[in-house]
Amino acid sequence: MTTRLRVLDDGAWISVDDHREVRVSELWRLDTDEFCGCDLADLVVENFQTVGVDGSTVEVRVYGQCIACGASGTTGWIPVGRIRDGSFAAIDRSAIRRPRPETNQ
Amino acid sequence: MPTDVENWKSEVYGSEIRDHLFEFAERGFDSIPDDERDAWFERFKWWGLYHQRNGQEGYFMMRIGTPNGVLEPGQLRVVGEIADEYARGPGTNPIFGDAYADFTTRQSIQLHWIELSDVPAIFEKLEANGLSTQQACGDSWRNIVGNPVAGKDAQEVIDAWPVIRDLNETFKGNDDHSNLPRKWKVSVTGSADGSGQGDINDLAFEPAYKEVDGEDVVGFNVRVGGGLSRNEPRLARDIDVWVSPERVSDVAGGLSALFRDNGDREDRYNARIKFLVDEWGAERVRETLQEEYVDFDLHTAGRDVREEYTYNTGAGERNDLIGIHDQKDGTNFVGLNVLVGRMGAEDVLELADVAEEYGSGEVRLSQRQNVIVTDVPDDAIDDLLDEPILEHYSPSPSPFMRGSVACTGTEYCSLSIVETKNRQVRYARWLKENVELPDDVDQFHIHLSGCTASCAQPQIADVSLRGMKTRKDGEPVEALDVGLGGGLGAEPQFARWVTQRVPADEVPGAIANLIDTFAAEREEGESFRAFVARHDDDELDAFVDPEETDYDDPMMHNTKRTWYPYAEDDSLDSAPPAPADD
């Protein structure tokens, strides 16, 4: 069974099987030293750039800004949820997210 | 690889969407197959329907494209009646009530809470009265903008209204130009005030003189590739072409086709023609246009009148079209301030009455979200000014009221990060009561955009505000980035973003402190824009100085996590179901 994943409306949200599941304007905590120098980036999600999957994990690349230090740019692949039994289950918005290390790009 | 949107467009797009839209309207919202919703909502945009944000499932924003902002006699009443009957939803706005119309920065009209089942009846009424939503959104020719008083303005160089009408008739519903890589925004201006704001459009025609066969002829210079969105603002580039009014359609069609054939259809973020002009350069755009898309020799650019531009320049006369102005036929046009462009349906109907009583019944919309009553004889001016509705929609408003522009914001928009329209109303009211501008400064433009899409055109204001977040006392709150010193004119300049992430409740204090410093330290007669230009970013950041005041902001939380920010029970879990098909 395939899952349809899309970035729509100028990067405003992620569609999973034609349902709006993940939206901009949230603050995400990122555990990465690749986006900015903060121990824990406090990222405003401004635009979704791309969406993909790694196994059952739905991932996105996001344009945003760390409100702790002001660094802005596009992130690596960040998990936003999982597909379980054909349904999307979002990661809790307060979770600390770790971008997947780039391996083949 | 083409995007999903391109694949959907290749299957069904353009005029043919209408039959499907009406079928869904007839059979009900739920008749849209679950696995086709993204595709159909994308296509509906071509007919001016934009699905509102999550929490408002099944409701649509409807955009009516009014070329050059012209509403012919009777049309404003139609808009008011449709807003009153159909633009009512489950949410009530505490400032604007239950039914209203939004006048946009591209001289269009937006209505909210439109139900799919009502679309055929609305279209029937619009079209019976010469109005349309066709191509108001989507990847094609959008509403053509310009100086709204074209054909009437005593100051105009050339009447652009016949040109705009011709372009509108030629490129609306034109299958060769209905599926472009992305939106296509065109401005045609015939006045010397710059009020068409061509610099920020994909394609701009600006008045210019050219010697042709020994005679000085008035026509248009052509610029391509302007736009403000996505942190990538561009001014339209001069492609060294002058065109006569009779040839505008050929050149516009050629450039639209050039964009259709060469724009990026694999990456929507790179699709606007501004990026193609970046890549090619203006010279190659001109060469390609000449060699492949027009069958006559292009003239080189003529003598423009950009030195005379005043609109949105931050100095001089006519920074907007508010107030009483001469028409070339001896009557007057009267520009009225519509704060943040939103007008209640009852007021729309009342204004339609007033326009009929004192003018011709015609009304026009400006790119500063204001409304203009045209054709008012001298002897009717005093009585018009005495009309009660002009107390609220004033021809001589406070600088903070007339300078306010705001986008839709999180009330309805998926992309916005913060609440905008009501916030800008609160800001303007507070600034009016609490801040004094120097006596010789009667205009001060503050534009509030909820995100980087820049629908409020924040980069071309004295004070630019853009939605952001920050933490205050550890809690996430809505915030704004502050930019200064933007404006158009002979030397257009985008705002410099000098202060980031100001909590929204500290912005009025920040603007008050900024204006205090400006008033104290400006040189004699210096405009705010010139004042900004002679200071560096660090100095300006210090002038902004955010501060809490008695301004109270009730929307500091994440308004996007509500189904409607002003609902008593605003949680997404309490969102109303999609409207029943009655």
Mean pLDDT by 10 residues, chain B (582 residues): 93 97 96 96 98 96 98 98 97 96 98 98 98 98 98 95 98 97 98 97 98 96 96 96 98 98 96 98 98 98 97 89 97 98 98 98 98 98 98 97 97 97 98 97 96 94 97 95 97 97 98 98 96 98 97 95 96 92 60
Q: What is the pLDDT of residues B243-255, one digit of tens each?
A: 999 999 999 999 9
Q: CB distance B414–A67 less than 8 Å?
A: no
Tokens of B31: 């008749």
- Collect all residues of chain B within an 8 Å Cβ-Cβ radius of residue A6: 4, 38
Helix pair B75-86, B119-128: axis angle to 10 deg? 170
Provide the 3-class DSSP secondary structure of residue B447: strand
User: What's residue A100's pLDDT?
Assistant: 82
- Collect all residues of chain B within an 8 Å Cβ-Cβ radius of residue A19: 37
Tokens of B262: 């060469």
A25 min Cα distance to partner chain B (Å): 5
Q: CB distance A24–B35 less than 8 Å?
A: no
CA angle B147, B244, B182 (to 5 degrees): 60
- All domains of chain B, ordered by start, with CATH? 4-128 (3.90.480.20), 156-308 (3.30.413.10), 323-389 (3.30.70.3340), 401-561 (3.30.413.10)
CA gap B148, B227 in Å, rounded: 20
Q: What is the pLDDT of residues A47-71, one digit of tens each?
A: 999 999 999 999 999 999 999 999 9
Q: What is the pLDDT of residues B159-207, one digit of tens each?
A: 999 999 999 999 999 999 999 999 999 999 999 999 999 999 999 999 9
B105 min Cα distance to partner chain A (Å): 19
- Collect all residues of chain A within an 8 Å Cβ-Cβ radius of residue B415: 9-12, 24, 47
DSSP secondary structure string, B226-292?
-B--TT--BPPEEEEEEE-GGGHHHHHHHHHHHHHHHS-SS-GGG-SHHHHHHHH-HHHHHHHIIII
B9 neighbors B139 (Cβ within 8 angstroms): yes
User: What's residue B581's pLDDT?
Assistant: 62
Token pair 């404003």 in the structure block, residue: B76
CA atoms within 13 A on the CB side of B547: 12
Helix pair B37-44, B4-11: axis angle to 10 deg? 70
User: What's residue A105's pLDDT?
Assistant: 43
Extents of the domains making up chain A: 24-95
Q: What is the pLDDT of residues B47-84, one digit of tens each?
A: 999 999 999 999 999 999 999 999 999 999 999 999 99
> Residues 42-61, chain B: which have Cβ within 8 Å of A?
42, 53-54
Collect all residues with Cβ–Cβ distance below 8 Å to B86 and sequence separation of at least 6.
B111, B113, B114, B115, B118, B121, B122
